[in-house]
Amino acid sequence: MSEYRIEKLRRPVKVALVGGATLDGDIFLQPSARYRTGPQEPAELFNEEDEFVPLATTGDELVLLAKAQIRTVEFGAGLTDTPFAEVAGAAVDVVLADGSVVAGELRMEIRASRPRLLDFLNEDSQRFLTLRSSSSLCLVNRRLIAQVRHRR
């Protein structure tokens, strides 16, 4: 092992791009998250300021993806997928600009002064929203969202 090598954890994901192409591969995560204990989660990586993210595809070909061109990122649920102690869940259908729909639960940090889904969507500054299903998570590029329907 080289002394210059940076230790990373690999996590499998499925990436859908704006043009309709999909890529299966591994992303590289830090073994320690910046602002909490435990390893870095995919949502943390994709919401960082960097404009590009590397993806190792089959055969370990390295592809550098522009985050602005990523429609969704799907991956299996991890042990630490809920970073907040107190969250409220909202079942939503997210309709993207291309007409596709992503359904799931959007978990929001509880704020007494601004408890509505609308408030969360308007105040949250992350590049990707995280939607949860029973077995997986899906990151959705906020800039590609046309509408969000709250299912009751």
Task: Report domain extents, the chain.
Answer: 9-70, 87-150
In what helix (H) or strand (E) does residue 97 lie, and over which residues does it extend? none
Query: What pTM was computed for the model?
Result: 0.86
> What are the pLDDT digits (tens) for 60-79?
799 999 999 999 999 998 65
Give residue 95's pLDDT. 97
- What is the third-level CATH fold of 87-150? SH3 type barrels. (2.30.30)
Give residue 59's pLDDT. 80
Residue 151 tokens read as: 């299912």
Characterize 61-96 residue by residue with b for buried, 16 or more Cβ atoms within 10 angstroms of its Cβ, and e for exposed. eeeebebeebbbbbbeeeeebebeeeeeebebebbb
